[in-house]
Amino acid sequence: MYDFIEAFRADLERYAPDRLVRIAKPGGWSLGQLHDHLIEVALEYLGHVAVCAQATEEQPSGKTEAGEGVFRRGGFPPIRIKLPDTPEFTPSNALSKDELLAGLDRVDRDMRAWEPRLAAVHPNMKVRHDGFGWLNAREWFDLIGMHFRHHLRQKAELEALTEA
């Protein structure tokens, strides 16, 4: 299992069911919602990896300045990124621990399936990221780990707020 997935999985396994769904402050997320967000985004990014792998037309455009910065640093800046407060950007708070663990297992399994195939995907086969510009399969893949690590601070905050 990838270390960033394993870190979230290990903590998820020790959360009590009521702690997993507890929202400690208005407008905040629960630990379950955070895990759901990470799983959904990872699966979305893996879908973009697949699109890159199946593409037949090269995309010469590159990353935005923000995208260049993220990949130069190897991670997101240490800032809170607020998503729109709409249903499409609000993760589910109804998933069980077992469902979330299965989701993390699926992300791990799909990443392991894609990793050995990435080198064969032409680097100019790209899909556009709204903030980072045009990313190739390897970049979409690497963004998954960056995204998980970006949320470590939020996870620590939520754990502190939901300790009983």
Nearest-angstrom CA–CA distance, 14 and 23: 17
Q: Is pLDDT above 90 for 80?
A: no
User: What is the per-residue pLDDT across 45-64, written as a single tens digit (0 to 9) for each?
Assistant: 999 999 999 999 999 999 99
Helical (H) or strand (E) element with 99: helix 97-114
> Which range (62-71, 83-92, 95-104) has the least confidence?
83-92
Q: Which residues contact 154 (CB under 8 A, 6 or more apart)?
A: 29, 34, 80
**Average pLDDT over every residue of 17-25:** 93
Residue 120, classified by CB atoms within 10 Å of its CB into exposed (0-12), middle (13-18) or buried (19+), is exposed
Residue whose C-alpha is closest to residue 134's, from 72, 78, 59 = 59
Give me the number of domains the chain comprises. 1
- The amino acid sitting at 96 is S
Question: In percent, how much of the chain has pLDDT > 90?
Answer: 86
CATH number, residue 36: 1.20.120.450
Domain that holds residue 86: 3-162
| pLDDT band, very low/low/confident/very high, at 106 (cuts 50, 70, 90) | very high
